[in-house]
C-alpha cells in the first residue's frame, strides 16, 4: 500500500492528475496547488517538466526566470522604480580532484573572487584581472609576460593591500616586490582552500 494511502483517505493517482494537467494547462502555465496533500499534483507536474526538459535540455528556470526577474527589479520595470543592488547568477560545477589543473582561467577568477567575497568583476583574457579599490584588491595573472608589468605595477602601487594570484608566483615576485603584496600560487592555493591534497604534486 502506498505511503500516501495510509496518510490520506482519498489519495489520487498521479496518472489521473497528470491527465487533468495535460488537458487543462499549457507548456508555460504555472500550477498552484493550495492544498498539496500528499504531493500528487507536485509529482505529476515534476514528471511533466522532466519530460519537457528532455526535449529542451537548456531549460533553466533559475537563469531564465528567477535571475531575469531579480535583474528587472534592480534596474526597474514598468511603473516600478529601480531598486538598485548587486546580483550575480552563478552556475556551480564540481571539479574532480584530479582535474584541478584543467580548470579554465575564467573559473579560477570567479573562484578567487568568491573566496575573497568580492563583487564579481569580469575576467580579462589579455593581461590580468583586477577587483577591488584603493584599500584592498585581488589580482589574477593567468599568463605572465613583460608586457603586462607596467599596468600591473601601477595598479599595485595605487592600492594599500593586494593579493596577487598567478601560475608563476616566483617570476612575478621577482618583478613586483612590495610589502603590501601577497603572492599566491595557482593551483596550490585553490587546492589548499578546497581541501584537495596531493592534487598539485
Q: Does residue 199 form part of some domain?
A: no
**Residue 27 and residue 33: Cα distance in Å, rounded?**
17
Question: Do residue 187 and residue 104 come from a single domain?
Answer: yes
Question: Do residue 114 and residue 185 come from a single domain?
Answer: yes
Total length of the chain: 201
Residue 146: the pLDDT is 92
Question: Do residue 141 and residue 175 come from a single domain?
Answer: yes
Question: Do residue 34 and residue 64 come from a single domain?
Answer: no
Residue 83: the pLDDT is 82
Domain with 107, as residue range(s), is: 97-193
Question: Do residue 136 and residue 184 come from a single domain?
Answer: yes
Question: Do residue 73 and residue 114 come from a single domain?
Answer: no
Question: Do residue 79 and residue 108 come from a single domain?
Answer: no
Question: Do residue 76 and residue 44 come from a single domain?
Answer: no
Q: Does residue 151 form part of some domain?
A: yes
Question: Do residue 144 and residue 179 come from a single domain?
Answer: yes
Domain count, the chain: 3
Contacts 24+ apart (CB under 8 A), 87-91: 88/119, 88/120, 89/62, 89/63, 91/63
Torsion of CA 80, 82, 86, 92, to 10 degrees: 40
Question: Do residue 67 and residue 50 come from a single domain?
Answer: no
Q: Does residue 73 form part of some domain?
A: yes
Q: Does residue 14 form part of some domain?
A: yes
CA 185 vs. chain centroid, Å, equals 23
Question: Do residue 47 and residue 108 come from a single domain?
Answer: no
Tens of pLDDT along the chain (201 residues) come to: 445 445 567 778 888 989 998 999 887 788 887 776 777 888 888 888 777 666 555 666 666 777 777 777 778 888 888 887 776 666 666 666 566 667 789 888 988 888 886 667 888 888 999 998 888 999 999 999 999 999 999 999 999 999 999 999 999 999 999 999 999 999 888 888 776 655 554
Question: Do residue 121 and residue 107 come from a single domain?
Answer: yes
Q: Does residue 200 form part of some domain?
A: no
Amino acid at each position: 500500500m502506498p505511503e500516501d494511502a495510509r496518510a490520506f483517505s482519498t489519495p489520487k493517482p498521479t496518472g489521473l492528475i497528470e491527465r487533468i494537467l495535460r488537458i487543462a494547462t499549457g507548456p508555460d502555465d504555472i500550477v498552484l496547488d493550495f492544498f498539496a496533500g500528499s504531493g500528487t499534483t507536485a509529482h505529476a507536474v515534476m514528471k511533466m517538466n522532466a519530460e519537457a526538459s528532455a526535449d529542451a535540455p537548456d531549460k533553466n528556470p533559475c537563469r531564465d526566470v528567477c535571475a531575469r526577474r531579480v535583474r528587472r527589479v534592480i534596474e526597474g520595470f514598468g511603473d516600478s522604480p529601480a531598486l538598485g543592488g548587486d546580483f550575480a547568477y552563478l552556475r556551480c560545477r564540481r571539479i574532480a580532484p584530479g582535474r584541478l589543473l584543467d580548470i579554465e582561467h575564467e573559473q579560477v577568477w570567479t573562484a578567487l573572487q568568491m573566496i575573497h567575497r568580492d563583487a564579481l568583476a569580469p575576467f580579462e583574457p589579455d593581461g590580468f584581472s583586477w577587483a577591488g579599490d584603493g584599500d584592498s584588491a585581488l589580482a589574477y595573472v593567468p599568463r605572465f609576460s613583460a608586457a603586462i608589468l607596467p599596468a600591473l605595477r601601477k595598479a599595485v602601487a595605487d592600492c594599500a593591500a593586494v593579493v596577487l594570484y598567478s601560475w608563476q608566483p616566483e617570476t612575478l615576485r621577482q618583478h613586483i616586490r612590495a610589502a603590501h603584496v601577497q603572492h599566491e600560487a595557482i593551483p596550490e592555493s585553490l587546492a589548499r582552500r578546497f581541501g584537495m591534497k596531493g592534487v598539485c604534486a
